[in-house]
Structure 1
Amino acid sequence: MTSPAAGQAGDGNPLRDAQDRRLPRIAGPSGLVIFGVTGDLSRKKLMPAVYDLANRGLLPPGFSLVGFARRDWQHEDFADVVHEAVKEHARTPFREEVWQQLAQGMRFVPGVFDDDTAFDTLKTTIEELDKARGTGGNFAYYLSVPPKFFPTVVQQLKKHGLSDAPEGSWRRAVVEKPFGHDLTSAQELNEVIHGVFRASQVFRIDHYLGKETVQNILALRFANTMFEPLWNRSYVDHVQITMAEDIGIGGRAGYYDGIGSARDVIQNHLLQLLALTAMEEPSSFDAKALVTEKLKVLNAVRLPADLGKHTVRGQYTAGWQGGQKVLGYLEEEGISPKSKTDTYAAIKLEIDNRRWAGVPFYLRTGKRLGRRVTEIAVVFQRAPYSPFDTTDTQELGQNALVIRVQPDEGVTIRFGSKVPGTSMEIRDVTMDFAYGESFTESSPEAYERLILDVLLGDANLFPRHQEVERSWEILDPIEEHWERHGKPEPYTAGTWGPKAADEMLARDGRSWRRP
């Protein structure tokens, strides 16, 4: 059996064991209970990820999957739902023998979250699986439910003795974002969860941290001597972190309205990317050392003095995207015509420490933008002296290292090079590394990595409650400022956001990258 500590040293490859990098990290006897198993996240991500892990040989033969939801289903009905999700969304080929072995451990418990009888049934189901499948009392509870139900579910788990593991076994809670909607609610939520589960038992999912390219930030910085000496205020002019989506809100009006882009993306994904980009080298790559260094960065983050000039919020209006006419946010089904929810947010932050003092970090995110892309662009200062005539370098920009998180995972370096010919003409060129071209095996989907880490007890890629609360401390003053001042600036769908966002950087003599 692979111990829970396996893989904690981490090499960035989710399929390798920390003790022997040539061996796969395989979960020991265990099971997974998914609350909210009928939702989109479960159907499109969680259930396919479980199958893909099994197909890669990373789950034990007796692995068990239990669904909990308000449906009048039998075990066979649940297996049919999982089968359909796997056939539609799994990334690995479908193999009947793998499916049959996995399906034997599938169970379904009907009920609502405050139903004592349902939780008694869940307890009986887990005990039966321990005997029939050899799960060893090891179960993770995945709360794929809205945050308002977290307290009810965790209290029910405690009430029915499901949070306490038998001797020599473990129980863990997996919590999906959002982790509250402000600092106060996040603290209340953490207090409820930690009243039932120890901090080491709680795994907060930020699926961006499971992406291979995000993990590669650490490898890029700390395994290569060519980058780290330049990774500071002496050479870096500024950093841009972008998460752009070309889609609207889809059917998420009930969740999204009143939340907005800043709370949905900046508070978690983008501040985590900032922390990984700016952190000092950790003493090791275990969870405690990583959290320590990320927290140092987050605690050093400083908001701009003038929030009106250095933060922007926007809201998309009708336009054309992908050759199709699309609705504006206020025209979307379920959205109030008076809504002030932001669908675009951009902020400027600085980090008060020796490495980054005076280097601005620009974070932006939005829906209905020019294209779907997530990237981190480290833009370097211009050369202090150039022997070339201005006519030789009129097209020359600043050197930049761009980490592409999605969709075309990889790294691009932009630098100046001489154009072939007899004259000295310098022009920007790019040198590109793409995961798909350099590695024969495809990167596992983020949820594969994260679910496997939960089963192994490896907390490296999961934000701790201190990070969550500090991120809200950063964002709350911005949200409060926006609440007091006007409404979001409109921008046309298919563009790159409101004019004020360009003006924000122009005041600093800079401009946004066009990915």
Structure 2
Amino acid sequence: MVSRIIPVDAFDLVVFGGTGDLARRKILPALFRRYCAGQMPEGAQVIGAARSEMNDAEFRAFVTEAVEEFNGNFQYSDEDLQGFLSILFYVTLDALGDGGWSELATKMQADRVRVFYFSVGPSLFGPLAERLHTYGMADMNTRIVVEKPFGRDLETSKALNRSLADHFDEHQIYRIDHYLGKETVQNLMAIRFGNMLFEPLWNSQYVDHIQITVSETVGVQGRGDYYDRAGAMRDMVQNHLMQLLCLIAMEPPSRFEPDAVRDEKLKVIRALDPVDPDNIVRGQYSAEGDRAGYLADVGDPHSTTESFIALKLHLSNWRWAGTPFYLRTGKRMRARSSEIAVVFKETPHSIFDEEAGRHRNILTIRLQPNEGIDLDVTIKEPGPGGMRLVDVPLDMTFTEALGPEAEYVPDAYERLIMDVVRGNQTLFMRGDEVEAAWAWTDPIIAGWEERRDKPLPYDTGSSGPVDALALMHRDGRRWREVRS
């Protein structure tokens, strides 16, 4: 199977915060891999812009180190690297002043797409957008990319939306969530809307419940200051898990195009019921051996910020009435794993005896670390001695099903950045979608702050607080085991 590379026209791409951690770890290596894939047309240029005093040669040395450190097993030649370095440039720039802006403007080439990646804090979004207009770099071919956190509540997200809308139209603004760029997330839409097998069953009549899990083995060290102001609810649920929920629960869009898809996602968020406090479990990881606990990692012995959260949600619409959605995410968990599990109901009547047991079909979409899809089906256990049933997975691990060419699955940032260049907003959040997510999230956070709820301790390497298990057990259900 030969991958089809969709060509793009020449473009200029500027990375504000071009020497920052996100640029070093994700953005610049992703651009390099797209260069190796033949998606950087002749004349394209990538420009780093930041406060650091640096010239083009020093920036190219910085990028070389980033490529070598963060490209994993990706194979490339020295010719590839030198070719990529030749299209890199750097401008020392003051985001809040005038320094460097005229120089940056002179590097822009006429009559081509211009992408400005705001790999900076949200407080700089407005000033950067304003200066792009002041210095004549913004036109109808200009696109801006903004990273999360897109606000910390409804009020601040509205303010950020207004500050960007003062200078750019909505179709020029790309709010990036790297989870939406994952191959399996997009395959979720293909499974739902490209197969007659699943869509008739995708409703409360046949689905018992849905679980969405994003667990991490790392703690918050190195991000303690930011994380303690955000917590798992703001950092993960309001954006990443919310987006996964939207894709799993939304109605079929009329066509696969940006606004049609995002209209349906918005309907899901607006259909979410308020969450009862009894359906929320928050936790903080404890110290273990020489590994510090959450309170030490953030440097605040009195912090009530959660590093783990589990929720039971309901949607008030015809498709999902009565079907619960269980979401959980946490740091220092047993394994690094992200998955969506669609658990179907048991057969209405079993013709087999009790020894055969009760069984369910489960469709599991694995996002990381091993992207793929499993469908658990019930079969007879081989051998004599009666009808014994066992569940076995129909496994579609990409590298096994699609052959050697699937061994390298493009990184989410590779796909999303090139979608920006092409002007495809399907996998990006719209402003009203972000605000609707905060409108649902804010009352939940306000509720536990008013009650002065404290997160529950949980052991490093566990599945979270015991109360999170009870969240499922009281409904006669169980969390799926978190596996790497």
Normalising by structure 1, what TM-score?
0.89
Pairwise mapping of residues 373-392 of structure 1 onto structure 2 (< 5 A)? 373-392=337-356
Partner of 1:122: 104
Residue in structure 2 matched with residue 109 of structure 1 by the alignment: 91
Select 1:398's aligned residue among 360, 383, 402.
360
Partner of 1:308: 277
Deviates more, 1:495-504 or 1:84-93: 84-93
Give the letter aligned to residue 189 of structure 2.
L
Structure 1 residue aligned with 2:47: 66
Could you tell me how far apart the structure 2 residues matched to 1:235 and 1:164 are?
A: 50
State whether residues 64 and 102 of structure 1, in contact with CA within 8 Å, keep that contact through their aligned partners in structure 2: no
Give the AA of the match of 2:138: S
Structure 1: stretches of 5+ with no match in the other structure: 1-12, 17-22
CA displacement at 1:192 relative to structure 2 = 0.3
Amino acid at match of 1:37: G
Of 203, 207, 222, the match for 2:174: 203
- Which residue, 326, 342, 345 being the options, matches 2:291? 326
Provide Cα deviations, 1:253-282, integer angstroms capped at 9, x if missing partner: 121111011111111111111111111111
Aligned residue in 1 for 2:322: 358
Corresponding position: 1:495 with 2:476: no
Corresponding position of 2:268: 297
1:6 counterpart residue number: none
**Equivalent in the alignment of 1:184:** 155
| 2:29 counterpart SS class | helix
Counterparts of 1:77-476 in structure 2, within 5 Å, are 77-90=58-71, 92-126=74-108, 130=109, 136-164=111-139, 170-304=141-275, 307-319=276-288, 325-332=290-297, 334-393=298-357, 396-420=358-382, 421-439=384-402, 440-441=404-405, 442-476=408-442
- 2: distance between equivalents of 1:482 and 1:500? 16
CA contact (8 A) 1:29 1:136 kept: no
Secondary structure class of the residue paired with 1:364:
strand
- Counterpart Cα distance in 1 of 2:323 and 2:236: 22
After superposition, the C-alpha distances for 1:206-235 in whole angstroms (9 at most, x for unaligned) are 000000000000111111111111111111
What is the distance in 1 between the residues matched to 2:301 and 2:288? Answer: 17
- Other-structure match for 1:511: 478
Note the residue ranges of structure 2 that are not aligned, 5 or more in a row: none
Q: What number of residue pairs does the alignment pair up?
A: 476
| 1:94-136 Cα deviation digits (max 9, x unpaired) | 323333333222221113211212212211222xxx2xxxx63
Aligned AA (2:98): D
Secondary structure in structure 2 of the residue aligned to 1:378: strand
Q: Aligned partners of 1:83 and 1:189: how far apart in 2?
A: 34
Question: Which stretch shifts more, 352-361 or 425-434?
Answer: 425-434
Quick one: distance in 2 between partners of 1:221 and 1:203? 25
Instruction: Give, in whole Å, the separation in 1 of the partners of 2:83 and 2:360.
Output: 55
| Percentage of identical aligned residues | 43
Q: What one-letter code is carried by the residue in structure 2 that aligns with 1:429?
A: V
What is the distance in 2 between the residues matched to 1:233 and 1:78? Answer: 54
Q: Does structure 2 retain, via aligned residues, the 8 Å contact 1:310–1:347?
A: yes
Structure 2 Cα separation of the partners of residues 44 and 27 of structure 1: 24
1:41 corresponds to which of 22, 38, 55: 22
C-alpha distance in 1, partners of 2:475/2:450? 25
> In structure 1, how many angstroms separate the alpha carbons of the residues matched to 2:373 and 2:95?
45
Letter in 1 for 2:462: T
- Partner secondary structure for residue 247 of structure 1: coil
Deviation at 1:137, TM superposition (A): 4.0
1:384-442, Cα deviation, whole Å (9 max, x unpaired): 2112222231xx44321111111111111123222222212122222211011112322
Q: Root-mean-square deviation (CA), in Å? A: 1.7
Give the 3-state SS of the residue equivalent to 1:314 in structure 2: strand
Segments of 4+ in structure 1 off by > 3 A? none
Letter paired with 1:425: R
For the Cα contact (< 8 Å) 1:418–1:426, is it kept in 2?
yes
User: Residues 427 and 137 from structure 1, CA distance in 2 versus in 1: closer, same or farther, beyond 3 angstroms?
Assistant: closer
Give the structure 2 partner of residue 9 of structure 1. Answer: none
Distance 1:488 1:153 in 2: 38
Query: Structure 1 CA distance, aligned partners of 2:429 and 2:352?
Result: 48
Q: Give the residue type in structure 1 aligned to 2:287.
A: A
CA shift at 1:455, angstroms? 0.7
The one-letter amino acid of 1:297's match is V
- CA separation in 2, counterparts of 1:80 and 1:295? 44
